[in-house]
Amino acid sequence: KIKIILALHSNLPWVFFDFMPGSFYRNFLTKKLMELSIHACEILIVDSVFAKEEISNILKINKNKIKVVYLGVDIKFLNQNKSDNYVSGIDYNTKYILSVLSCTRYHNILNLLKAYKVLIKEINFKIKFIIVLQILDKKYFTELSNYIDQNFDKKNIIILNNIDSKYLPNLYRNSKLYVFSSYCEVFGLTSLESMSQGCPVVISKSSALPEVNNNAADYFNPDDIIDIKNKLKINLLDNNKRQNLVKNGKLHYKKFTWEKNVSETMHIIHNLN
């Protein structure tokens, strides 16, 4: 007789199952158990309207059963005081592009690297690429490492593996651009974190990312290396365009708070018949 409210934070198993890291059998079992849970619950809470439409269409769920509650920006990014948390060995005064993501194929990090390779040949100043990774797919990480070794001076690409999130505010704050590529996002928090630190955002025009980031980001096709390169290039060279993104971002990220998330979630719980 206990009623169930379920929160779902990823549609990946149904959209890009082959891109999921780990064992096929484990992933298949996880997917089936998730489906059973979703069909059994009275209310399903998802992170975006996009996620609601997508999961409803795939699993043939009544949309009235699905509620949208946006996530919030963590408190560490709301404190605008200068942080003392710096990654040892990183020169924060050099120009760099930043990306923070998990090492999985649905993030298509390889296309970011290929776009960066073209970019540094076309601009007349040096800029590094710092990639903060949570390594979930070790095979894919090996492929990325091999590509970097074969195509770049080691000083150009800096990989930071599984670092503590306390280091992120200063990495965002001192970056010239934040770039994020993904095929499958039901929300995505790192772009909002970046905005909170005054860093302009260039991001995939895919899944829920346009909904969540709205006019506070510039968008590219994640399958088009030249488009990615062009968006990076114009936002590096056009100061007015970059500052406009910063201005919009500083207003936009404030719409997403955990207080609002909790309030809306509790409203759903209290109104469950």
What is the pLDDT averaged over residues 167-193?
A: 96
Residues listed for the chain: 273
Show the tokens assigned to 257. 């708070």
User: In the predicted model, is pLDDT for residue 21 greater than 90?
Assistant: no
Across the beta sheet with 96-103, what order do the strands follow?
Answer: 157-161, 128-135, 96-103, 177-180, 201-204, 217-220
Show the tokens assigned to 150. 């074969």
Cβ atoms of 111 and 225 within 8 Å: the answer is yes
Q: Per-residue pLDDT tens for 225-249?
A: 999 999 999 999 999 999 999 999 9
Q: Per-residue pLDDT tens for 88-134?
A: 999 999 999 999 999 999 999 999 999 999 999 999 999 999 999 99
Q: What is the pTM of this model?
A: 0.93
Q: Per-residue pLDDT tens for 25-34?
A: 999 999 999 9
Residue 45, CA atoms < 13 Å, CB-side half-sphere: 16
Show the tokens assigned to 86. 């710096």
